[in-house]
Structure 1
Amino acid sequence: MKRKKHTAGDEDAAVDMTPMLDIVFIMLIFFIVTTTFSSEKGLEPNRPPENQPENPNPSKSLSIRIDETGQILMAGRIVDIRRVVANAQTYLANNDTDSAAIQAHEDTEHGIVVEVMDQVKLAGITKVSVLVKED
């Protein structure tokens, strides 16, 4: 039995990587092109400028309290969520202001706070602050 001798041509055999690199780059381009970037939606905070001088005559803002059970208190009275707009408009008719402060208990549902904010903005108040009361 005769053994086959190895020739120099067998040592130079190599795998051609060019087609594999082409496929990798094509896949990379495909994933870059098909990726969608989504912008998150949410509430924009309205922050005052850093070096704002103190206002000597602060305006009287509408004060709304929401307790842990979801009851809404305006001017010391319990108000239904559907009557917030009417009460806010009455307050605006009697007072010259464009701001409201909503003080919510930390256990209050977020949906109620957002609904009150929407109702106050419908009444015509542009500046709304939200405060969280911790026990």
Structure 2
Amino acid sequence: MRFRRSRQEEVNVNITPLIDVVFLLLIFFMVTTTFTRETQLQINLPESQSQRVAEDNKPIEILIDRVGTYAINDKVLIKQDVESLKRALKEMTADLSTPIVITSDADAPHQAFITALDAVAQIGFSKVSITTQAEESN
């Protein structure tokens, strides 16, 4: 007795919906992703157990008073621009690992502080800290 063989249907997987979903996810991530460029100035706050600073690596202190006048290690700068600040910092040291401490008056212009940070970053110093004062409790 001869039986008829049943035809085997070809098994097809339809991947069109899968491709649609992948493209939708791709479009979603492209639209929702923000491409912000983080600031390149890194501020490393020093950590210490004692309050003494090693003499060979004494920090350079940039002081900014309430009107925006700069002083580097208590020497007041004549000009208050980035180039003068950079020139004075380069004269103080050639070692870019020297710590920089920026002390700014609370009422100093924000631009004066940013100019000091910009000068330090343009030269390439790697250790920068900012001094603050603890709040007085009443």
Q: TM-score range by the shorter chain?
A: 0.5 to 0.7
My pick for the range that moved more, 97-106 or 54-63, is 54-63
Provide the aligned C-alpha RMSD in A.
3.6
- Cα displacement (A) at 1:76: 2.0
Distance 1:64 1:133, change over 3 A: farther
CA distance in 2, matches of 1:92, 1:78: 17
CA distance in 2, matches of 1:114, 1:74: 16
Where 1:114 maps in the other structure, the secondary structure is helix
After the TM superposition, which residues 19-38 of structure 1 pair with which residues of structure 2 at under 5 Å, given as runs?
36-38=32-34
Amino acid in the other structure paired with 1:112: A
Percent of residue pairs bearing the same amino acid type:
18
- Cα displacement (A) at 1:74: 1.2
After the TM superposition, which residues 86-125 of structure 1 pair with which residues of structure 2 at under 5 Å, given as runs?
86-93=87-94, 98-125=98-125
TM-score by length of 2: 0.55
Q: CA offsets per residue over residues 49-95 of structure 1, 9 Å max, x none?
A: 7xx776883620101100111111113222122311111111104x7
Distance 1:41 1:53, change over 3 A: same
After the TM superposition, which residues 44-83 of structure 1 pair with which residues of structure 2 at under 5 Å, given as runs?
44-47=42-45, 57=54, 59-79=57-77, 80=79, 81=81, 82-83=83-84
Where 1:107 maps in the other structure, the secondary structure is coil
Using CA pairs below 8 Å that are at least 6 residues apart, which structure has the higher relative contact order?
2
5+ long unaligned stretches in structure 2:
1-23
* Bigger Rg, which one: 1
Name the structure with the higher strand share: 1
Contact 1:68 1:106 in 2 (8 A): yes
5+ long unaligned stretches in structure 1:
1-28
The alignment covers a number of residue pairs equal to 105
